[in-house]
């Protein structure tokens, strides 16, 4: 007789190597609160066994809030004419990196809306060249600037970035089509192709999904986990969906789980992915912290190993408004890092600045390719 998911989780805690089936995943996602303690314990045990207690700070710089897309859930969508748009200059971006560098941060995420024009990619290339010229490969750069043509990805790679986050948002095509406009610019197939291009052009690839959007089912979330595993991603972050009052999806909030349930689902997704992919990097996202002030600790206790100190200058930060509720935070990475250090040590973890932060999963993947495995 097959084991129940609780029995499999107990075995994983003991050091076993149980495989979670789609049925196990849907069971774990839909059970009552009694599963939560065990799920967190299993994920945290597997994390400590595989990666240890270290938490890598990845400084996030939101370099522009302009976007050519119009995703129905997002405040940066081009149809949101109430949002003042900004582009940080190359100098401003390098100085934000320098600001993080002074506080020991060595891993940096440059994030923006999606802009296909040459000018945006060109300024990112310029930033990467300057970073490489100044700090060499001691600075680990991550990009999250949307779907780009393969040749632009290659150019960015040559300029010195080697990690890329492209969130699939949902792996279920039907749901994807419901939460994106049908205008030819939001094609599920194109997103999949870009993920494949990233892998083929040598990037460390990250992805992620939105959790708790209207119409999403636990079966769909279970498929997302299997999708991420089958794509052999190196990094992941889950965002609970948060309404943006000027976005069309907000009208359907009654079809989504309550906010508390979205947090719970996001934590369960984090824990399950950790159990399925023990050596990847999992981010505790700012969206999670938005819905729950203890989100970072809870994320870490459910298997996350990356925190994201904000390095966007405060004059821009409030306008990087993906969802409602973004508030001002101190413009001082020293204070942010001190608070993160305290959060980590309160739960027996250790913030490890000074690491460029390549995921162990990637290192093993490359070694196995080189060894012909």
Where do contacts with ligand SF4 occur on this chain (CB under 6 A)? Answer: 67, 69, 71, 74, 76-77, 113-114, 146
Helix (H) or strand (E) holding 349: none
The encoded tokens of residue 182 equal 């049908």
Nearer to ligand SF4, 186 or 343 (CB): 186
What DSSP character marks residue 312? S
Q: Are 60 and 312 in contact, with CB atoms under 8 Å apart?
A: yes
Q: Indicate whether 317 belongs to the interface with ligand 5AD (CB under 6 A).
A: no
Residue 59 gets the label, from left (phi > 0), alpha (psi -120 to 50) or beta, of beta
Q: Considering CB distances under 5 to 8 angstroms, the limit depending on partner class, which of ligand 5AD, ligand SF4, none binds residue 304?
A: none
Q: Are 211 and 253 in contact, with CB atoms under 8 Å apart?
A: no
**Rounded-to-10 torsion of CA 272, 274, 280, 282:** 80
Count the residues of the shown chain that bind ligand 5AD, applying the rule CB under 6 A.
12
Q: Indicate whether 242 belongs to the interface with ligand 5AD (CB under 6 A).
A: yes
Q: Indicate whether 69 belongs to the interface with ligand 5AD (CB under 6 A).
A: no
Q: Indicate whether 287 belongs to the interface with ligand 5AD (CB under 6 A).
A: yes
Residue appearing with tokens 């119009």: 70
Q: Indicate whether 323 belongs to the interface with ligand 5AD (CB under 6 A).
A: yes
Nearer to ligand SF4, 104 or 181 (CB): 181
Q: Indicate whether 74 belongs to the interface with ligand 5AD (CB under 6 A).
A: yes
Smallest gap from Cβ 244 to ligand SF4, in A, equals 9
Smallest gap from Cβ 73 to ligand 5AD, in A, equals 4
Q: Are 359 and 281 in contact, with CB atoms under 8 Å apart?
A: yes
Q: Considering CB distances under 5 to 8 angstroms, the limit depending on partner class, which of ligand SF4, ligand 5AD, none binds residue 242?
A: ligand 5AD
Q: Indicate whether 191 belongs to the interface with ligand 5AD (CB under 6 A).
A: no
Smallest gap from Cβ 77 to ligand SF4, in A, equals 4
Q: How deeply is 254 buried, as exposed, middle or buried, from its count of CB atoms within 10 A (0-12, 13-18, 19+)?
A: exposed
Nearer to ligand SF4, 146 or 296 (CB): 146
Nearer to ligand 5AD, 63 or 242 (CB): 242
Q: Considering CB distances under 5 to 8 angstroms, the limit depending on partner class, which of ligand SF4, ligand 5AD, none binds residue 146?
A: ligand SF4
Smallest gap from Cβ 195 to ligand SF4, in A, equals 14
Smallest gap from Cβ 323 to ligand 5AD, in A, equals 4
Q: Are 174 and 219 in contact, with CB atoms under 8 Å apart?
A: no
Sorted by sequence, the CB contacts under 8 Å of residue 229 that are 6+ apart come out as 273, 276, 277
Nearer to ligand SF4, 67 or 195 (CB): 67
Smallest gap from Cβ 69 to ligand SF4, in A, equals 4
Residue appearing with tokens 């969206």: 287
Sorted by sequence, the CB contacts under 8 Å of residue 164 that are 6+ apart come out as 142, 143, 144, 153, 198, 203, 204, 205, 206
Nearer to ligand 5AD, 41 or 231 (CB): 231
Contact pick of 42, 69, 73, 108 for ligand 5AD (by CB under 6 A): 73
Q: What DSSP assignment string belongs to 33-63? A: THHHHHHHHHHHHHHHHHH-SEEEEEEEEEE
Contact pick of 176, 241, 283, 320 for ligand 5AD (by CB under 6 A): 241
What phi, psi does 207 have (nearest 5°)?
Answer: -150, -170
Sorted by sequence, the CB contacts under 8 Å of residue 141 that are 6+ apart come out as 108, 110, 128, 131, 160, 161, 162, 163
Nearer to ligand 5AD, 45 or 285 (CB): 285
Contact pick of 72, 311, 322, 337 for ligand 5AD (by CB under 6 A): 322
Determine the longest span between alpha carbons in the chain, in angstroms.
63
Alpha carbon distance 145, 255 (integer Å): 30
Q: Considering CB distances under 5 to 8 angstroms, the limit depending on partner class, which of ligand 5AD, ligand SF4, none binds residue 161?
A: none
Q: Indicate whether 195 belongs to the interface with ligand 5AD (CB under 6 A).
A: no
Contact pick of 69, 163, 186, 239 for ligand 5AD (by CB under 6 A): 239
Which residues contact ligand 5AD (rule: CB under 6 A)?
73-74, 167, 169, 210, 239, 241-242, 244, 287, 322-323
């Amino acid at each position: 007789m097959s084991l129940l998911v609780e029995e499999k989780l107990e075995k994983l805690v003991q050091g076993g190597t149980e495989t979670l089936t789609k049925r196990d995943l849907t069971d774990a996602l839909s059970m009552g609160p009694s599963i939560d303690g065990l799920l967190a314990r299993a994920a945290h045990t597997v994390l400590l066994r595989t990666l240890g207690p270290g938490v890598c700070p990845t400084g996030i710089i939101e370099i522009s809030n302009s976007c050519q897309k119009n995703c129905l859930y997002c405040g940066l969508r081009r149809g949101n004419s109430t949002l003042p748009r900004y582009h940080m200059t190359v100098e401003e971006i390098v100085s934000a990196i320098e600001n993080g560098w002074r506080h020991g941060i060595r891993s940096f995420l440059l994030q923006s809306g999606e802009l296909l024009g040459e000018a945006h990619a060109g300024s990112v290339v310029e930033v990467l060249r300057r970073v490489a010229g100044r700090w060499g490969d001691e600075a680990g750069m991550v990009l999250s600037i949307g779907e780009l043509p393969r040749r632009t990805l290659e150019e960015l790679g040559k300029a010195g970035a080697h990690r890329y986050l492209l969130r699939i948002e949902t792996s279920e095509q039907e749901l994807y089509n419901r939460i994106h406009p049908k205008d030819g610019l939001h094609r599920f197939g194109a997103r999949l192709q870009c993920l494949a291009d990233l892998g083929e052009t040598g990037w460390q690839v990250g992805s992620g999904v939105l959790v708790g959007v209207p119409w999403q089912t636990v079966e769909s979330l279970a498929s997302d986990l299997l999708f991420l595993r089958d794509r052999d991603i190196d990094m992941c972050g889950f965002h609970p969906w948060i309404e943006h009052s000027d976005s069309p999806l907000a009208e359907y909030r009654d079809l989504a789980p309550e906010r508390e349930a979205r947090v719970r689902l996001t934590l369960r997704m984090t824990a399950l992915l950790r159990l399925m992919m023990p050596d990847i990097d999992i981010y505790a996202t700012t969206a999670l912290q938005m819905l729950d002030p203890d989100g970072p600790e809870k994320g870490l206790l459910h298997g996350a190993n990356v925190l994201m100190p904000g390095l966007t200058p405060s004059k821009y930060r409030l306008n990087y408004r993906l969802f409602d509720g973004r508030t001002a935070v101190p413009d001082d990475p020293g204070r942010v890092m001190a608070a993160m250090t305290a959060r980590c040590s309160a739960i027996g973890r250790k913030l490890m600045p000074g690491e460029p932060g390549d995921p162990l999963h990637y290192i093993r993947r490359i070694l196995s390719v080189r060894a012909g495995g």
